[in-house]
Amino acid sequence: MDRDELAELKVRLCRLEDESAINRLIMSYGPAADAGLTTVAGQLWSSDGEYDWDANGTPYAGSAGVDAMLQGNRHQSLINAGIGHFAGPLLIDLDGDSATALNYSMIMRREGERFYLWRVSAVRWDLTRSESGWRVRRRTNRLLDETGVGRQLFGDALNELFVEAVDT
For the chain, give the number of residues. Answer: 168
Within the chain, how many helices (H) and strands (E) appear? Answer: 6, 7
pLDDT per residue, tens digit, the chain (168 aa), is: 788 888 898 889 999 999 999 999 999 999 999 999 889 988 999 989 999 987 677 778 888 888 888 988 888 888 888 899 999 999 999 999 999 999 999 999 999 889 999 999 999 999 999 998 999 999 999 999 999 999 999 999 999 988 765 555
Q: Which of 31, 55, 49, 13 is nearest to 134 (CA)?
A: 49
Domain that residue 92 falls in: 3-42+49-167
CATH value at residue 163? 3.10.450.50
Structurally, the chain folds into a number of domains equal to 1
Q: Which of 119, 126, 107 is nearest to 150 (CA)?
A: 119
3-class SS at 72? coil
- β-bridge partners, 42: none
41 neighbors 62 (Cβ within 8 angstroms): no
Element (H, E) at 63: helix 62-71
> Whole-model pTM?
0.89
